[in-house]
Chain A
Amino acid sequence: MTLSGYEALFFWIFGLAAIFAGLLTVMARNAVHSALFLISSLVSVAALFILSRAEFIAGVQILVYVGGVMVLFLFVIMLVNVGAEERGSEEIFNNQRQVTASLIFCLLLVGGILYSINTGYRGLQSLRPTTPEVLIVQEAVRDQAHSPSATGSSRITKDAENVGGSLYRYASLPFEIASVLLLVAIIGSVMLARTLKQEASVDDLPPDAN
């Protein structure tokens, strides 16, 4: 799984961009700025997915997550948020004791997670002792085994084919359950966003009944 050369450079660029954009999402004063920083973070993570040879998931992330969910967020921000923060009249963080307690908890979580990743990864490495050079050569061999594209300058991977085959063969039951989940989400969101007048008209009450 070891990256090298230009892939390593792009990994560091997009990794640090994802973390930086995530930090600014949480710290921005304006909610629209937060949404735009989250979009940058999601696109950086999609680039990291492409570096991990998961091109189909990267495409799904950009289409569904950025193109659907974040656009929905921006619509709701426009409906609900009338710019009180940028006038400087509202606090954007909770009161000081809550923020301090949260930051102490997050620092403990950082320490715990990084320690466990370190220990676990060292244990994982001890199970399979191969040097990075061997892994890089194996990766290069596997990459060259794909069929070339029409212009001959790049290769066509089989990621979408493999993911689609597995999804429809071995994960077909979760797939159908996910479609039922989406149906329930659609019905629920339509029902939640109705106005009082619309709800009254369903029961054939006069429109100012509430």
Chain B
Amino acid sequence: MLNFFSLIILQEVESSRFAAMKQAAANPDLSKFLVIGALLFIIGVAGVLTRRNIIVIFMSIELILNAANLNFIAFSRYLSGIGSPNALAGQIFTVFVIVVAAAEAAIGLGIVIALYRNKETIWVDEIDLLKW
């Protein structure tokens, strides 16, 4: 697949910048993990800010927590590659992030059910009892 792309970009085949990009794609490093984590985080933030359904907002929050977990695990792998004694700290922290995410999801969905029982709605812009 990489060979196919290098054939269709004719003028960049011999330049060193394309060779560096091909090397970076063939050997993904810590920075690629961080970029994937950052993109998942931003997609989660966009979901929290733009959706009207409260359950989809909760699911975007789970995406944000997942992106942070990916970041922790990537750094844990990087540190164990370097030989640092704190390499397992990333994985331990990930366990606690998953625990907190599960507890938060349980309480949050309990709140959603109590809200639905009282106001019969799941759209966040209809929950405006405290608005002026």
A→B interface (CB under 8 Å) = 1-4, 8, 11-12, 15, 18-19, 22-23, 25-26, 28, 31, 34-35, 38, 41-42, 45, 48-49, 52-54, 56-57, 60-61, 64-65, 68-69, 72-73, 76-77, 79-81, 85, 90-94, 98-99, 102-103, 105-106, 109-110, 113-114, 117-118, 121, 124, 128, 132, 135-136, 138-139, 159, 162-163, 166-167, 170-171, 174, 178, 181-182, 184-186, 188-189, 192-193, 195
Contacts and interface: CB of A to CB of B under 8 A. Distances in A.
A18 B35 CA distance: 12
B40 A41 contact: yes
A178 B99 contact: yes
B95 A167 contact: yes
B53 A92 contact: yes
Interface string B42-86: 111111011111011011101100100110011011101110000
Contact of A192 (B25, B73, B100, B111): B111
A132 B29 contact: yes
B101 interface: yes
A26 B60 contact: yes
Given A11-B32, A38-B59, A166-B92, A2 B42 contact: no
B125 interface: yes
Given A69-B101, A106-B45, A121-B34, A174 B96 contact: yes
B117 interface: yes
B55 A73 contact: yes
B-side binding surface: helix, strand, loop or mixed?
A: helix
B7 interface: no
A113 B91 CA distance: 23
A23 B43 contact: yes
B57 to A, nearest CB: 10
Contact of A128 (B82, B92, B105, B123): B82
B103 A35 contact: no
B13 interface: no
Nearest to A52: B77
B30 interface: yes
A28 B47 CA distance: 11
Nearest to B26: A8
Given A192-B107, A192-B114, A73 B58 contact: yes
B39 A19 contact: yes
